[in-house]
Amino acid sequence: MTMTKPLHKGAPLYIQSQSPSAPYAAIFEDDGAKGCFYAATSSTSSDPEVEDMIQVYGADGLNAKDTFSDIKIIWSKDGYKAALLKDAHLEAIFDFKSKEGFSRQTASNPFDGWKRCQLEFSESHALEFEQDILAQRNKSLKTAIESVAAQDSEITRLNLYKVLLRSTLLIPITTEDPTSKDRLFYTFPYGDVAPLETASVSLSKEPAKQTILCTFTDDHSFQNAVGQYGVSYAKEKADFIFKQVQKFEDIFAVLITTGEDQNVIIERKDFALLSLVSEPQSLDYGTMVASMSNLLIQNAEIDFDRPLYQSLLTIIKSVPTIEKGFFFQSTASNSQVILGLLMPEADEVTVQDLFRQFAKVLHSELEDGETLNISVLEENSFLHSCVEHQVAPFHHPKSV
């Protein structure tokens, strides 16, 4: 039903989907010249009989923006409406009860007895298909969570945070109506959340005083956990959620669960970073630096007894304009070591001479396959601020 490889206009494709509760079928077909969505009646004894057709695209004018990776047909709960999703976005809808076809492009004429309508946002369409659409849009989030669950590393965690910033999550709320001004997010005591029993998390307070916000990627995972007990949910952008939870000191983590019961824990120290997209201007510079540096930069383990580093240190100490020196690296796995130098008063000639000396040392002292990146840090730049926050300088003559 779902295409997982890139699909291009002009590539032959046929998808047929049966209504779960009515004698109707929806068909998507790309015949090599155009892509069309069909409404049809169906029976077990004969092929579907087409009732209406919406042309979704033509092969003319194919370009990069017309490439998409996923096609899916979904149905409303009553089985009388079929929708075509292209990369998790509504492209067309058939309403078999009212005999209406909704399309972004209304140029194609409806068949006899059917009416063509412009596909625009409506609350009824959103409610009828929201669960399937949300599940499709969060597919990359579920994949990222599965990767972290399999191996929680800097790379998988960074990818998860990147995906989270464009994701929507379901949150248990205290009211039945998600739009109610009286609604609150449900939080759960630390000891009541099973995934935390084996998790390694940092508690700023006693466990009894800590709570966790449980969120879900789709309706299935929500219903399995709490929806079956009559709890309602609200849909919120992930970056907005992380902005809001910072206001409550007792919330030390956010748990995200998928429909496959995979889950990941986001600790409080990363809340500020994940709220950057929502309202970055509301974060003070120090908070932003602290969040980014914790996520992106780490101290590099250096053996200063090695001749390589002894030689570099001798050169650095001989240049009075070098105010500080840092060895650091990215939090990504297997990242190269960086020597960062703060020398705001050095002129271009001094810097060039310094790098010529470094080049001679690196040429003679680096081992096969070893690399060292040397960079001059611009004073008060964002990178300089992050390095200062995260890494202690190995060279700082003014502190002596």
Domain range list for the chain: 13-119, 139-281, 295-399
Q: Could you give the angle at which helices 348-365 and 307-317 cross, rounded to 10 degrees?
A: 170
Q: What is the pLDDT of residue 216?
A: 93
Q: Which residue has the tokens 């800590």?
A: 210
- Cα separation, 37 vs 53, in Å, equals 6
Beta-sheet strands, E only, within 59-143: 71-75, 81-86, 89-95, 100-103, 115-118
0.85 exceeded by pTM: no
pLDDT score, position 1:
31
- Per residue of the chain (400 residues), what is the pLDDT tens digit? 333 344 454 557 888 899 988 899 999 988 877 888 999 997 665 678 899 999 888 755 433 345 666 788 989 888 999 999 887 778 899 999 999 999 877 666 788 889 998 887 666 666 677 777 777 778 888 889 999 988 888 778 888 888 888 888 999 999 988 888 899 998 988 766 655 444 444 444 455 568 899 999 988 888 888 888 889 999 899 988 998 898 888 898 999 998 777 889 998 888 877 876 555 555 566 766 776 777 678 899 999 999 999 999 999 999 999 999 999 998 765 678 999 999 999 899 999 999 999 999 999 999 988 899 999 999 988 889 989 999 999 999 876 5
Provide the pLDDT for residue 65. Answer: 41
- Please give the pLDDT value at position 58: 76
Q: Please give the Cα distance from 38 to 51 (Å, whole number).
A: 7
Cβ(48)–Cβ(42) below 8 Å:
yes
Q: What is the pLDDT of residue 199?
A: 45
Class of domain 295-399: alpha beta
